[in-house]
Amino acid sequence: MKIRRLQRLNGKQQWEDHGYAYERDDGRASFRYNTLVWGRIGARYNVQLREAGTKLEAVPQIIPTGERLRWLEVEEIEGEPEEIKAALDEACQIPRPVSMTQSLTA
């Protein structure tokens, strides 16, 4: 699976994973992000990526960076896509959906 990590410079001046883009089966990029942080902006970026048919290499042209935000180079990770996404979601602190059954029994 091809991905590209988005990193943010934290208060301790250390880079940490903040989100990521991955290559879909159709070759276009999709952005995964923390909805609590990115909200509607992240959704708007995903629409722009989809409508433009953006490849992973061109993601920084749609989602810009600055002094405190940077895209790493494209990398390829071996394994099952859902497992890779789950690990990246955890590293980027992206909340996973909770099923209603889990909510009611907790």
Number of C-beta neighbours around residue 82 at 10 A:
9
Domain of 28, in residue numbers: 2-105
Radius of gyration of the chain (CA): 14
How many distinct structural domains can be found in the chain? 1
pLDDT computed for residue 96 by the predictor: 76
Contacts of 57 (CB under 8 A, 6+ apart): 74
What pLDDT sits at residue 62? 95
Average pLDDT per consecutive 10 residues, the chain (106 residues; last block may be shorter): 96 95 96 92 95 96 94 97 95 79 53
